[in-house]
Amino acid sequence: MRLRQRSLRHLALWLGAALTAFGLVPVAAHGAMATAGAAANLALNKPVEASSTTQNYVAANANDGSTSTYWESSATPATLTVKLGADADLDSVVLKLSPDPAWAQRTQSIEVLGRAQAADGFSTVKARTDYTFAPGANQNTVTIPVSGRYADLQLKIHSNTSGYGAQIAEFQVNGTAAPNPDLTVSALTWEPAQPSERDAVTVHATVRNIGSAPSAATTVDVGVGGSVSGSAEVGALDAGASATVPVSIGKRAQGSYTVSAVVDPRDTVVEQNNDNNSLTAAGKLTVGQSPGPDLEVTDITSNPASPAVGSVVTFTVKVHNRGTSAVAAGSVTRLTVGGATLNGTTPALDAGESATVAIGGSWSATSGGATLTATADATGLVDETNEDNNVFARSIVVGRGAALPYVEYEAEDGKYDGTLLETDTERTFGHTNFATESSGRKSVRLDSTGQYVEFTSTSAANSIVVRNSIPDAPGGGGQEKTLSLYADGKFVQKLTLSSKHSWLYGNTDQPEGLTNTPGGDARRLFDESHALLAQTYPQGTTFRLQRDAGDDAAYYMVDLMDLEQVAPAASKPAECTSITEYGAVPGDGIDDADAIQRAVTADQNGDIDCVWIPAGQWRQEKKILTDDPQDRGEYNQVGIRNVTVRGAGMWHSQLYSLIPPQDAGGINHPHEGNFGFDIDDNTKISDIAIFGSGTIRGGDGNAEGGVGLNGRFGKNTKITNVWIEHANVAAWVGRDYSNIPELWGPGDGLEFSGMRIRNTYADGVNFTNGTRNSTVFNSSFRNTGDDAMAVWANKYVKDQSADIGHDNVFRNNTVQLPWRANGIAVYGGYGNKIENNLVYDTMNYPGIMLATDHDPLPFSGQTLIANNGLYRTGGAFWNEDQEFGAITLFAQGPDIPGVTIRDTDVQDSTYDGIQFKTGGGAIPDVKISNVTISKSNNGSGILAMGGARGSAKLSNVKITGSRDGDVLVEPGSQFVINSAATRTVPATPGTRQGL
């Protein structure tokens, strides 16, 4: 059925092109262009939004063509808005409830409002009137005559006599499309028609305006294998006119590729129909291998594999000749690491042969790890058929932090023509403060055409990530704008920047109270854009982000840029079965969730051994889980088990969602969302990306951002090299015992490694519900909306005496810019460890926190904080009255015993370096040794608040540059600090506050 639907879609596109060629205009999909003079329901399956919803009675139920589903608001007044996509001349609005006689008679007071496509706000179309629905009397429908030309229609329902919220089963808008352009891609060809790897390829996209009005100029994007590979301008087109646009996509490696194109990808042109802007070529672009030699690096080995800081490390590099002819001995295989450049000599290699090349010299391992970059034929001795596949990179873990595969460049450290933004001394947060939310507390603003930020790369790169901020749309919801990328002065491409997932408004300290609706203070101002570039740029390339004439955001904030050498897409392992065998098609914009689910279910049932997600963009609008035939629980809460999912790499195999979770409907809990995976046990997921559709946590109708990975997780589950972005939570490990008691099983021995977690609305990874013996290792977190990593030993478990979160480890991770809450936190449990991590730039909370708020099971045994580095952490929150240290221990209720803090550096803290906070419990016998605390800007090196109870013993603790002194015990405190440096100083009135 899925394949048939796709075939029909392509047939419709072909027929449309054929009819237009003869001067005829076809009927567009979904009734968007009704036959002239005939009114049609223009609202069917169009985007629809509600001010609030109850349970799973979501807005999408109101225009799905079925009266068996309905929308219900949480309260009245409430609004329901349908977006037609373009102006239409309207003649009526039809509203329906269920025809089931069980529905009692009710009267709803309804106002109809409209907004034209060029207007900013809504105006009244039909004044508030009472309408009676009586399904029992066969009167479940009311028809409201309207007139005028509008693109969006809104119902404002002021009351419902039934006592429920507003209720609508079907919201129909009848009318005819007003004159507007309608852009389509009618043909795709390329030259050369049969290229080799040596050939640069140009795709020719024929764009036609099948609408009834002229179109302004726009762009067309061409995708290859599911990823956008080129873009070009499309000039203005009269109604019925067409233009063939050349789009360069560069050279391609040997293989077959799906080619697609979409016109007006950023919706700059208002069209009669936005559902027909794309076309996927019927044939594949097949790139042949050119005869001749071709060297590539396939692996780097270090000895030792995970060295200590200062260790001498040597290397070997595996070189493969994938060409068709032999290579003579003598080419240089080069490896760069840190500031070292090391060389080896490659032996003679026949076609298809590999060799392990010993690299001369060594490297002294530095803390924080490094990127190893190896290049075959580094001096260009061999004339290869493909010169773009010689570079291979991987990371090596050393000392603290994750071994990041990219190099990060701060805007303020580069060359720039713009305005430098710097934060205030208290790093004020939550007041639309761009500098406070910037890495290093600095960023650069570009206001004028020609302004730029520029960096010189220190290693080879073929990808870019830009952390940036552009303004929100005037009415909220974000917008997309472009920024131009140059390399060594040559234009590379336009980068698409978006504010869709940023900009939360409100003064509340509770994130659930923030809103997407503009007004007042704003926070979460930054987001990220990424692109895989068409070629590798060598070390020493000058990259420039520049505001050109077409880059028309009101301003651009550039915070940082990541440059990475991404390995080529991996090939499908022999034991795996591709999701394409189950009907998935990359890059076509059609939901692939059902195909992915069929493949995962086949693996779970033992029909296949492994699920393969090939390189490409795959749309997913349903959580992958196990359907529960018993329908236990309010929502489906059964995860997958005994499943292996593998991809071609996080930059290559990417799942994405477009529908906000609260609007997705279906069987998924809104909190868990419509993307990612629900996992119960023994599941391996690796080398993919999961890009969610969340925009908020709470606010605006209790909307939720969705969860990338959730479930019980069980035993033998490993998550490796997975990129998760724009989720409420990236990974929530654990379910309440009460969900489905017979499936109880906490995470045990779970491993996360190589994770890349970005731009969430709540936690990064949370180990809860009795999770034990589990690890997050060598992973990076940036811009999380709650704790980047946490152990929450909560009470919603089977046995509170046994199911306590314990022996979990957060080791060698890098955390940046949590915009709310902690870098790393532990709430209760025992044997948990925080080791070898780097935490930077928390907005308002500690870098590391141990606490007994959130009502956890008690702390016991030992909790270790060792060998961490914290930089610019801590902050003020809760009405800005409570000031948190870089490391904070907060016994709100039960005690926090058995804490060791050692071998740690705390630098440039916003308030105190280490803080013992006022609470109802004690913090006894804390051991602090080999700790350096420097520059506590607005506090002390170590502070015990007036209500704190407990004791700490200091050994080899060095404190310098603290505003309020080295060690401060506030008056009235029962906390004892055993150290020769201890002194008790009266606190300045009003400056240090407890709970």
pLDDT in tens, 725-735: 999 999 999 99
585 vs 93 pLDDT, higher one: 93
Is there a contact between 676 and 706 (Cβ–Cβ < 8 Å)?
yes
With cut-offs at 50, 70 and 90, classify the pLDDT of residue 947.
Answer: very high
- pLDDT of 23 above 60: no
Beta strands 765-768; 729-733: pairing state: parallel
**Non-local CB neighbours of 52 within 8 Å, separated by 6+ positions:** 73, 74, 75, 78, 165, 701, 702
- pLDDT of 37 above 60: no
Is there a contact between 638 and 628 (Cβ–Cβ < 8 Å)?
yes
Span 362-381, average pLDDT: 91
Place of tokens 């909190």: 671
Region for residue 828 given its phi and psi (left: phi exceeds 0; alpha: psi -120 to 50; beta: otherwise): left
Q: Return the closest-CA partner of residue 530 out of 479, 486, 485.
A: 485
pLDDT in tens, 895-930: 999 999 999 999 999 999 999 999 999 999 999 999
Model-level pTM? 0.80
Span 527-554, average pLDDT: 95
Is there a contact between 855 and 886 (Cβ–Cβ < 8 Å)?
no
With cut-offs at 50, 70 and 90, classify the pLDDT of residue 154.
Answer: very high
Cβ-in-10-Å burial (0-12, 13-18, 19+) of 715 comes to middle
Q: In this predicted structure, what is the pLDDT of residue 223?
A: 85
Q: In this predicted structure, what is the pLDDT of residue 313?
A: 96
With cut-offs at 50, 70 and 90, classify the pLDDT of residue 21.
Answer: very low
With cut-offs at 50, 70 and 90, classify the pLDDT of residue 670.
Answer: low
Span 619-644, average pLDDT: 89
- Compute the mean pLDDT over every residue in the chain, rounded to the nearest whole number: 91
Span 571-594, average pLDDT: 92
Span 745-769, average pLDDT: 97
In angstroms, the CA 167 to CA 105 distance is 12
- pLDDT of 982 above 50: no
- pLDDT of 815 above 60: yes
Beta strands 863-866; 833-835: pairing state: parallel
With cut-offs at 50, 70 and 90, classify the pLDDT of residue 252.
Answer: confident
Note the Cα 745 to chain centre separation in Å. Answer: 28
Sign, CA torsion 58/64/70/76: positive
Buried b (16+ CB within 10 A) or exposed e, 111-148: bbbbbbbeeeebeebbeeeeeebebeeeebbbeeebee
- pLDDT of 939 above 50: yes
Is there a contact between 37 and 175 (Cβ–Cβ < 8 Å)?
no
With cut-offs at 50, 70 and 90, classify the pLDDT of residue 635.
Answer: confident
- pLDDT of 985 above 50: no
- Residues forming beta bridges with residue 883, ordered by sequence position: 876
Share of the chain above pLDDT 70, in %: 94
Share of the chain above pLDDT 90, in %: 81
- pLDDT of 267 above 80: yes
pLDDT in tens, 141-153: 999 999 999 999 9
In angstroms, the CA 378 to CA 459 distance is 13
In angstroms, the CA 972 to CA 474 distance is 51
With cut-offs at 50, 70 and 90, classify the pLDDT of residue 53.
Answer: confident
With cut-offs at 50, 70 and 90, classify the pLDDT of residue 668.
Answer: low
Beta strands 78-96; 170-177: pairing state: antiparallel
Q: In this predicted structure, what is the pLDDT of residue 359?
A: 98
In angstroms, the CA 392 to CA 335 distance is 9
pLDDT in tens, 186-236: 999 999 999 998 899 999 999 999 999 999 999 999 988 777 788 899 999
Q: Return the closest-CA partner of residue 901 out of 921, 883, 884, 886.
A: 886
pLDDT in tens, 832-852: 999 999 999 999 999 999 999
Residue 130: its H or E element: strand 123-133
With cut-offs at 50, 70 and 90, classify the pLDDT of residue 666.
Answer: low
- pLDDT of 120 above 70: yes
pLDDT in tens, 764-788: 999 999 999 999 999 999 999 999 9
Span 397-409, average pLDDT: 93
With cut-offs at 50, 70 and 90, classify the pLDDT of residue 704.
Answer: confident
Nearest 10 degrees: Cα torsion 497, 500, 502, 503? 120
Span 511-515, average pLDDT: 90
- Residues forming beta bridges with residue 455, ordered by sequence position: 543
With cut-offs at 50, 70 and 90, classify the pLDDT of residue 667.
Answer: low
